[in-house]
Structure 1
Amino acid sequence: MQIYKVGGAVRDRLLGKPVTDIDWVVVGATAEEMLAKGFRPVGSDFPVFLHPKSGEEYALARTERKSGRGYGGFTFHASPEVTLEEDLIRRDLTINAMAEDDQGVLTDPYHGQQDLENRLLRHVSPAFAEDPLRVLRVARFAARYAGLGFRVAPDTLELMRQLSESGELEALTPERSWKEISRALMEDHPQVFIQVLRDSGALKVLLPEVEALFGVPQPAAHHPEIDSGVHTLSVLEQAALHKQPLSVRWACLLHDLGKGLTPQSEWPQHIAHEHKGLKLIKQVNERFKAPRDCQELALLVGQYHTHGHRALELKPSTLAELLQSFDVYRRPQRFEEFIAACEMDARGRLGLEERAYPQADYLRGAATAARTVAVQPLLEQGFKGPELGEALKRERLKALKAYKEQYSQ
């Protein structure tokens, strides 16, 4: 029995990055031997075991063969005869197909270390094209390591195109797709993830609503970058630079989908794109079964982001309706995330990345003014039921009028 550290732990050590998760491969062992040593079995598809003390995953060396469609369409074979090289060749990228023994000796049969030095994301073997999930994984790695200068190797990108055209991407489950998309959006350069998906032809399969934004012009006065797709990438880039949470990044990706529906005859104007985009945002949310907080924020940002930009011009009554739409009295954090998404949208414009966004503090102040209206005095005046709700609305509107007047002075 020989045990090797494999995959990401080896890759990140060679890159000088922190190693968090460690995966191990066991060569020359049977499941029975693992159980006898106290390892606990997990997973039904192939033999993976948890170490009795550390809880880390140890997998028996295995080979795999394509037997159906999609990510799960594989038959696995694990036995003591499977070599380390045979196990490594089934992996996606050369930089993930290296192993280290307990002495730190590197096994690198597919030149992963050289590709690390050349900053290349390259597939290990033609079998790469058998697993559609790898299109998303490679795009995610491109987003993770873009800051180090990594790029997708041309021959790997070609295999990704073939996968995108094969119909295999449609076989991915919403859960698997969302797991990769959500992880990619939280990388340092999520815009690279979207760009690589586009370069490989996968974006038009997975997110045709985002693909449709590219080549659609916007008014140059507000959007010096002009192209709606380029703007979306820039907004996503700003969200990452400002360390926004997943819900904000998801909303940033989807906020302008309505612009993809504007007839060419109306370009570069996009009248009512906020409302038109809601059905598209809803269908993307449902396609990937996004978490509820992501779904709700994406819809609210899609509908109201121009309100955010025009905050200083809004009438107190419109401000009151906006705050009510966000249920800001019970869910203040969601409104804060809306403000963040609006600010990223404003900064995601060519040459305007550092422009001040006073709307953010103005909206926060408005929310605070409305929230400071106390219910108790109204109860003491005898208001109850629907009448109490109406009285509360009136008092909040008064507070917002006073806030706006004070701000204007």
Structure 2
Amino acid sequence: MKIYTVGGAVRDALLGLPVKDHDHVVVGATPDDMLRKGYRPVGKDFPVFLHPITQEEYALARTERKTAPGYRGFVFHAAPDVTLEDDLVRRDLTINAIARDEDGQLTDPFGGVDDINDKVFRHVSEAFGEDPVRVLRLARFAARFGDFTVAPATMELMRTMVKNGEVDALVAERVWQEVAKGLMEAQPSRMLAVLQDCGALARILPELIINDRLLQVIDRAAADALALCVRFAVLMLAVPVAQINALGERLRVPNDCRELAVMTAREQSVINNALTLPAEELVRLCERCDGLRKPQRFVQMLQAVACDGFGKGSFPQAVHLQVVLDAARSVNAGEVAGKFAHQPSEIPRAVHQARVIAVQRVCSRDF
């Protein structure tokens, strides 16, 4: 029985990056061996165990065989006679197929160290083409490691996978999971570019039209360290509202992301023209977007539009609308309603008008 650290932990250490998670492969052991040593089983499809102290994952060395389309169509085999190289050859990229033993010695049968030095994403074997999730993962890695390029043979293999319909077999939840992770990387534009280059983008996000401006804007959202829902709203800025809703349903996008994207796409023209709008329209914007009850979401909408804005630099519309929202929220609706207790039907209009007056007051003073 021998234990190796594998995958991202080895890769990131070689790149000089912080190592967040450690995955391990165990060669020459059975499930009973692991149980006797106190490991806790957690794997459903193949034997994976948690270390009794560190809770890190330890998987028995295994092979796999493709049995059906999609990323779920595999049969796994784990046994003591499965070698380390047998296990590594099933991995996606050479940079993720390096193992390190407990003495620090590397096992690198597929040239992963060279590819790290040359900054190249290269598939380990033709088995890459059997799992469509790997197309999304590679694109996500491109967003994380901005100076890496995709090996020509690997790009050609991904194009073949798309043509053969492998990407069409992906389930919605997995597509969203990988896209969301890619959006949260340092350079999400590279994920989009790789997916477009191999043809996968048109299959999973056909609503998107990629151009240089969108790539710049989504990277600006990343540079500003904005939340996932804001980055998704930025991605959807040029997509019609009806298509955003359809995409959200298809990929089962979380409600906070979907709702913010729809609201931002619907209101971006109003926001861009906010400096010239009368108080009445500004208050209606705040009310329409439920900014009085959900000010943080309103601010996130402004952040998304500001990424696009009118070019680089400040976006005074966001500052203006923040002042407007604060003024509208300063109105004591209960106090106004008390003055119209004998005319309850007039309360909404009176509260709205009080907000307009409050906004007019701050606009005349500050702008």
Normalised-by-shorter TM-score class:
over 0.9
Unmatched 5+ stretches in structure 1: 215-228, 258-276
- How much does 1:386 deviate? 4.3
Which secondary structure does the structure 2 equivalent of 1:49 belong to?
A: strand
Task: Letter of the 2:177 partner, please give it.
Answer: K
Partner of 2:193: 195
Partner of 1:207: 205
Q: Once the two structures are superposed, what CA deviation does each residue of 1:14-58 show, in whole Å capped at 9, x if it has no partner?
A: 000000100000000001111111111112111101111111110
| Structure 1 outlier segments of 4+, above 4 Å | none
Partner of 2:173: 175
Task: Letter of the 1:357 partner, please give it.
Answer: F
Aligned pair 1:230/2:212, yes or no? yes
Give the Cα separation in 2 of the matches to 1:395 and 1:362: 19
Give the Cα separation in 2 of the matches to 1:50 and 1:386: 63
Partner of 2:349: 390
- Mapping for residues 92-241 of structure 1, pairs under 5 Å: 92-146=92-146, 149-210=147-208, 213-214=209-210, 229-241=211-223
Contact 2:48 / 2:58 at 8 angstroms: preserved in 1? yes
1:287 aligns with one of 237, 243, 250: 250
Q: 1:385 to 1:20 in 2, by over 3 A?
A: farther
**The 10-residue stretch of structure 1 (383-392 or 201-210) with the greater mean CA deviation from structure 2:** 383-392
- How much does 1:404 deviate? 2.5
- With normalisation by structure 2, the TM-score equals 0.97
Partner of 2:358: 399
Partner of 1:252: 234
Aligned pair 1:337/2:319, yes or no? no
Which secondary structure does the structure 2 equivalent of 1:208 belong to?
A: coil
Give the Cα separation in 2 of the matches to 1:207 and 1:346: 24
Give the Cα separation in 2 of the matches to 1:379 and 1:180: 49
- How much does 1:382 deviate? 4.2
Give the Cα separation in 2 of the matches to 1:90 and 1:107: 15
Give the Cα separation in 1 of the matches to 2:354 and 2:43: 58
Partner of 1:363: 321
Which secondary structure does the structure 2 equivalent of 1:72 belong to?
A: coil
- Mapping for residues 33-72 of structure 1, pairs under 5 Å: 33-72=33-72
Give the Cα separation in 2 of the matches to 1:239 and 1:100: 37
Which secondary structure does the structure 2 equivalent of 1:243 belong to?
A: coil
Q: 1:64 to 1:394 in 2, by over 3 A?
A: same
Give the Cα separation in 2 of the matches to 1:327 and 1:287: 26
Q: 1:398 to 1:99 in 2, by over 3 A?
A: same
- How much does 1:308 deviate? 1.2
- How much does 1:317 deviate? 1.7
Contact 2:173 / 2:251 at 8 angstroms: preserved in 1? yes
Partner of 1:272: none
- How much does 1:326 deviate? 1.6
Which secondary structure does the structure 2 equivalent of 1:92 belong to?
A: coil
Contact 2:176 / 2:253 at 8 angstroms: preserved in 1? yes
- The count of aligned residue pairs is 366
- Mapping for residues 297-308 of structure 1, pairs under 5 Å: 297-308=260-271
- How much does 1:138 deviate? 0.3
Give the Cα separation in 2 of the matches to 1:153 and 1:314: 52
Give the Cα separation in 2 of the matches to 1:168 and 1:386: 59
Contact 2:241 / 2:262 at 8 angstroms: preserved in 1? yes
Task: Letter of the 1:179 partner, please give it.
Answer: Q
Which secondary structure does the structure 1 equivalent of 2:309 belong to?
A: helix
Contact 2:187 / 2:219 at 8 angstroms: preserved in 1? yes
Q: Once the two structures are superposed, what CA deviation does each residue of 1:255-309 show, in whole Å capped at 9, x if it has no partner?
A: 102xxxxxxxxxxxxxxxxxxx111111111111111100000001110111111
Task: Letter of the 1:161 partner, please give it.
Answer: R
Give the Cα separation in 1 of the matches to 2:287 and 2:345: 16
Partner of 1:28: 28
- How much does 1:142 deviate? 0.7
Task: Letter of the 1:66 partner, please give it.
Answer: K
RMSD: 1.2
Task: Letter of the 2:235 partner, please give it.
Answer: L
Partner of 1:377: 335
Which secondary structure does the structure 1 equivalent of 2:290 belong to?
A: coil
Give the Cα separation in 2 of the matches to 1:375 and 1:307: 25
- With normalisation by structure 1, the TM-score equals 0.87
**The 10-residue stretch of structure 1 (196-205 or 393-402) with the greater mean CA deviation from structure 2:** 393-402
Partner of 2:78: 78
2:274 aligns with one of 311, 320, 333: 311
Give the Cα separation in 1 of the matches to 2:336 and 2:283: 19
Contact 2:340 / 2:346 at 8 angstroms: preserved in 1? no
